[in-house]
Amino acid sequence: MLTNLVSNFAISCLHGAGYFGAAFLMALESMIAPVPSEAVMPFVGFMVADGKWDLWAAIVVTSAGSVVGSAISYAMGYYGGRPFVLKVGRYLLLNPHDLERTEDFFSRRKGTLTLFISRFIPVVRHLVSVPAGTGKMKLFPFLMATLAGATLWNSFLLVCGMYLRERWDLVQLYSHQVDIVIVAVLLAGLVFFVKFRYKSALKN
């Protein structure tokens, strides 16, 4: 399975390249490559739990990797546009439908908050930097929102790995459950927002 291949690749990188390997993997995760954070960060947590890595150093390098990868995707969208992203994406197993859904999500409510929230949504968090680039979002807010969102998500998975060292199956289960809860909360918030705007329009 692809998940097992990615997990084995992640383990090899972490053991072979250390902190640099972790940063590299999270850079790929934040680009359009099929490297999910759920297959990387818990293993980083294992390294911390085993005393091989420092907690704060692990958080810093993985967050830096996420920002670098996101910045590359942003630049691809900003300078190359959608055609260039799709062209390169063919070699990185990019699903055009996933990119289209992410673009649609981002276009509905552009801004720093949307970008931050996107870092917690499955699939969207891998691709949202592209529409941020094609939409010419300002670089500094983009980097700040990316750093904040990626650091929180990465740290959550890292801590899961630390406390569930011997139960990788539970790490996967809980991370996916959190994805579902986050999506449910976002949908509820969207419904509330639409109702609020609709009532305000009626009053005016």
Q: Is the pTM of this model over 0.85?
A: no
| Identity of the residue numbered 124 | V
Q: Per-residue pLDDT tens for 45-94?
A: 989 988 899 999 999 999 999 999 999 999 988 898 778 887 877 766 67
Residues sharing a CB contact under 8 Å with residue 12, sequence separation 6 or more, in sequence order: none
pLDDT bin (cut points 50, 70, 90) of residue 113 is: confident
Q: Per-residue pLDDT tens for 4-33?
A: 666 777 888 888 889 999 999 999 888 877
**Residue 102 neighbours by CB distance under 10 Å:** 22
| Mean pLDDT rounded to a whole number for the chain | 79
Q: Per-residue pLDDT tens for 175-199?
A: 555 555 555 555 555 555 555 455 5
Residues sharing a CB contact under 8 Å with residue 45, sequence separation 6 or more, in sequence order: 157, 158, 159, 160, 161, 162, 163, 165
Q: Per-residue pLDDT tens for 134-165?
A: 888 889 999 999 999 999 999 998 988 888 77
How high is the pLDDT of residue 48?
92
Task: Say yes or no to pLDDT of 117 above 80.
Answer: yes
Q: Of 119 and 140, which is predicted with more confidence?
A: 140
Eight-class DSSP state of 78: I
